[in-house]
Amino acid sequence: PLVLGIETSCDETGVGIVRGYDLLADAVASSVDQHARFGGVVPEVASRAHLEAMVPTVHRALADAGVALTDVDAIAVTAGPGLAGALLVGVAAAKAYALALGKPLYGVNHLAAHVAVDTLEHGPLPEPAIAMLVSGGHSSLLMVDDLTGDVEALGATIDDAAGEAFDKVARVLGLPFPGGPPIDKAAREGDPAAIAFPRGLTGPRDFAEHRFDYSFSGLKTAVARWVETRQRNGEPVPVADVAASFQEAVADVLTAKAIDACQQRGVETLLIGGGVAANSRLRSLAADRCEKAGIQLRVPRPKLCTDNGAMVAALGSRLVAAGVAPSPLDLPADSSLPVTEVVMA
C-alpha cells in the first residue's frame, strides 16, 4: 500500500510517501530561517508557515514520487506531541485528504515515527529495541517491544532537551541558530578534553531515581559561566575547545545511559534518532561503545534524523501492514501525547 505521511509538529512541514519499506518521496519545507533571529522556534510563526507550505509540499512529494493523489491508500499524520497550533495544521490537512479520497487516516505519535523512519534505511527493526530520541524538543530513552503498539518510556530529560542545549550553548558562543551544526563543525578543531564540563544525573545518588533520565540545564549553565569568566577577565574564548568539550559531555552521557538501558533490559539493538543524532561525535562514540558492548547500533542518515514526513509515512506503512485499526476522522491533535500511544484510537 502507498502511504502519504504529514509532519507539522515543530518547524518542518514534511510530506513523505512510502510503499512498504521503500521511500518514494521526502519533501520538507522548513521555517527555521524565520526563527533564527529569535534563537528558538516561535509557535505562531511556525503555524502560519505550515499553512502556507502544506499544499505545495504535498504536491512536490507526489511529483517526486511520480504518483497521483488518487493512488494513495492511506494517510498518516503526526497527532502529537508537538506545538499545538502547528500540529493542528497537519491534522486538519490530513483529515481533508482522507475524507476527500475516502482512505483511512492514522494519527500517529511523533516519537514512534522517529523510530520507524529507520526501517526505510535498514529494514525491519529487530524487536525488542531501545530507542534514544534526541532533538530540540525531546531527549528520551524508549523501550520498543512492538513499534506498532508497545512502546514504553524508560526515561527522559528532566529539564532541557539535548538539542536545546546545543542551541543555547551556540548562542553563548556567538554561533548561529540552530546550534547543532555549527557546534559540530567548530568542535572538529577543538580538544574534547580541554574543559571538564559536568555530566548531569550520573552521580551515585542519581542512579536510584534517575538512572535513565537526562539533564542538560546544569551543563548549559556551566558552559555559560565558563565563557563569562573568560570574557570578564578580558581573555579570548577558545570557541573550538568549548564546543568540543561541551559536545563530548553530551555525547558521553547520552551514549552511556543508552547502553546501560540496553544491558539492564537485555536488549541487543540500539536505535538513535532525532536531530541531535546527526551529531558526528555522538555517532562515532555510540558506534565505539556499542561495538565494545556487543550491541547492534542503528542510526538513520542525517536527513532522516531531523523532522520529516517520511518518518510519519514509515510508521503509517508499518501500522497498515500490521492491520492496526485507523484513527477516527475527528481525531484531535494532542500536544502532550504520551509515547505509549503509538496511534490515536
Q: Which residues are annotated as a binding site for Fe cation?
A: 110, 114, 307
Instruction: Report how far residue 113's alpha carbon sits from residue 66's, in angstroms, rounded to the nearest whole number.
Output: 24
The residues with which 4 forms a beta bridge, in sequence order, are: 17, 75
**Count of residues in contact with ligand ATP, rule CB under 6 A:** 23
14 binds ligand ATP (CB under 6 A): no
Q: Which residue bears the cell 548549559?
A: 220
318 binds ligand ATP (CB under 6 A): no
Among 5, 90, 178, 326, binds ligand ATP (CB under 6 A): 178
Amino acid at 4: L
Q: Which residue bears the cell 501525547?
A: 337
Helices 84-101 & 43-65, crossing angle to 10 degrees?
30
16 binds ligand ATP (CB under 6 A): no
The residues with which 106 forms a beta bridge, in sequence order, are: 76
Interface with Fe ion in residues 110-149 (CB under 5 A): 135
275 binds ligand ATP (CB under 6 A): yes
**Would you say 169 and 183 are in contact if contact means Cβ atoms under 8 Å apart?**
yes
The CB-of-54 to ligand ATP minimum distance in angstroms stands at 17
307 binds Mg ion (CB under 5 A): yes
10 binds Mg ion (CB under 5 A): yes
Tell me, what DSSP letter sits at residue 70? G
Task: Kindly indicate which of the ranges 4-12, 20-28, 64-72, 253-261 contains the residues binding ligand ATP, using the contact rule CB under 6 A.
Answer: 4-12
Among 137, 190, 200, 316, binds ligand ATP (CB under 6 A): 137
Q: Where in 20-138 does DSSP place strands (E)?
A: 22-30, 74-80, 105-109, 129-134
The CB-of-10 to Mg ion minimum distance in angstroms stands at 5
How far are the Cα atoms of 68, 136, 142, 215 from residue 202, in angstroms, in the given order? 52, 22, 19, 9
Instruction: Report how far residue 120's alpha carbon sits from residue 113's, in angstroms, rounded to the nearest whole number.
Output: 11
The CB-of-248 to ligand ATP minimum distance in angstroms stands at 12
Kindly write out the interface string for residues 214-243 of this chain, putting x where it contacts Mg ion by CB under 5 A and - elsewhere: ------------------------------
The CB-of-147 to Fe ion minimum distance in angstroms stands at 16
Kindly write out the interface string for residues 158-177 of this chain, putting x where it contacts ligand ATP by CB under 6 A and - elsewhere: -----x--xx----------
Q: From Fe ion, Mg ion, ligand ATP, none, which one binds at residue 107 (CB under 5 to 8 Å depending on kind)?
A: none
Tell me, what DSSP letter sits at residue 292? H
**Would you say 343 and 337 are in contact if contact means Cβ atoms under 8 Å apart?**
no
Q: Which residue bears the cell 494532542?
A: 334
* Contact residues for Mg ion, defined by CB under 5 A: 10-12, 307
Q: Site residues (CB under 6 A) for ligand ATP?
A: 9-11, 82, 135-138, 163, 166-167, 178-181, 184, 274-276, 278-279, 306-307
